[in-house]
Amino acid sequence: MKPNTTLVGESTVLLDAIERASRAAALDRPVLVIGERGTGKELVAERLHRLSNRWDAPLVTVNCAALPENLLDAELFGYEPGAFTGATKGRAGRFEEADTGTLFLDELGTLSAPAQERLLRVVEYGELTRLGSNQVRQVDVRIVGATNADLPGLAERGAFRSDLLDRLSFEVVTLPPLRVRGSDIMTLADHFARRMAVEIGWNDFPGFSARAAKALTAYDWPGNVRELKNVVERAVYSAEFADEPVDELRFDPFESPWRPTRLEGAPATTPSSPPAPAKAEEMEGAPPPARASRTSVEDEDCDDLRATVARYERAILIAALEKCRYNQRETAAKLALSYDQLRHAMKRHELHKA
């Protein structure tokens, strides 16, 4: 977890959640932080620690979903030499590392049943035993758990211990998704954009165009703040001009006319069975047959094929831009190109400077 991180925003729903966390921080009790992915659960956990009486003690983070079940016990509770194959020397677990401090258990809902049972004992009595040992050790740890799962629903189905849930849910802070935070979207977008502008050496951030701002506020943000950060930073570093408002946004970084579409389990193309060549009208950026049929090279000097093709492509671009009154989006559509493809073609022929 990075130090000195802050929660950005001023919407009522966000401020209510922060206030609830701030009140709970001073109490030496477990807290659950619930929210969709990317809503800032890690930042709230850090806030709970920094505002508590344990602020100068360790803040230890464990991602429960990132550890295999057979290693989670050893990671949390430690082990003695010979406890399992490869354990040549003992090691303290994360609970002992967090003694007198805070242990942040991310993805709490993925804990296995045995780990939940051992966690319950630590929460209730402050006692643990390392794997391979009978010695009971005392620890003083404040637990903050985070998840995007429905823990009460898991408890009803028997997938999460009800008694453990009771112990951990002294206070529950539920973070609102970005789509309900109103003006926070542009506040966050400006925050991330300015940081990215500094990172790539811009003197200032010129802001977003009206079209980009409308797209940002209209998007549903299933990945919440983390997704917004990626979209904004990608837009800033991709912008061609540092003194013009950022206009182009790419919400899906995988979007491409060449994106693989083979379904999982379908046979892959092999050299012995090459795919059928695409028809000209199916190829991205290819002119329709009617336009291609008017192509004449009788008057062209074809001693250099590449130079000839380049001259012809440049002439097509200029003609299309003129017909569309230099509206680049309309020109891209007319030529069956994406906007980015048109921009790359214009740069290749040095037309973007005109």
pLDDT tens track for 315-349: 998 999 888 888 888 888 888 887 778 887 888 88
- 3-state percent breakdown (helix, strand, coil) of the chain, nearest 5: 45, 10, 45
Instruction: Label residue 158 left, alpha or beta by phi (over 0 means left) and psi (-120 to 50 means alpha).
Output: left
pLDDT computed for residue 322 by the predictor: 86
What is the C-alpha to C-alpha distance for residues 164 and 155, in angstroms, rounded to an integer?
Answer: 9
What is the C-alpha to C-alpha distance for residues 194 and 285, in angstroms, rounded to an integer?
Answer: 35
Whether pLDDT at 287 is above 70: no
pLDDT tens track for 229-276: 999 999 999 998 999 999 999 999 988 878 787 655 555 544 444 444
Record the tokens describing residue 89, joined without a space.
């020397």
- Residues 349, 310 contacting (CB under 8 angstroms): yes
Question: Whose structure tokens read 């009206």?
Answer: 210
pTM above 0.85, yes or no: no
* Range from 67-81, 179-193, 296-310 carrying the lowest mean pLDDT: 296-310
Question: Whose structure tokens read 């061609």?
Answer: 240
